[in-house]
Amino acid sequence: MNSFAEKFAQLSLSDQRTILIDPRVKANLGKWKLFYKRLTDFDFINAKVNHSDFGVQSLIDDYDLINDLELLNKPEYNSEQVKTLKLIQ
């Protein structure tokens, strides 16, 4: 088990929810690099898909933010990273 998974497993349910909602928060704040980092972290993806409060649809919704017009206009937006996210999606 890696450090993310170990740390995540020890968090309270409330703190787990906060972390798993993180991509949407990052997108809304225009923090593209952090948004990208979270959605390319396979341990995060695994945790979100397997969490009883989130699941696959929630993860799909996170990736759908790639096409958000406000996010597309942020200075950190990177079209190569979008290609990577679409492949993972």
For 82, the domain range is 14-88
Is 1 a domain residue?
no
Is 51 a domain residue?
yes
Q: Is 2 exposed, middle or buried (0-12, 13-18, 19+ CB in 10 A)?
A: exposed
Is 26 a domain residue?
yes
Is 40 a domain residue?
yes
Residue 1: its pLDDT value, please?
Answer: 53
* pTM of the full structure: 0.81
Residue 54: its pLDDT value, please?
Answer: 93
Is 3 a domain residue?
no
Tally of structural domains, the chain: 1
Residue 4: its pLDDT value, please?
Answer: 82
pLDDT tens for each residue of 14-25 = 989 988 888 888
Is 75 a domain residue?
yes
Is 7 a domain residue?
no
How far is Cα 32 from Cα 78, in angstroms, rounded to an integer? 8
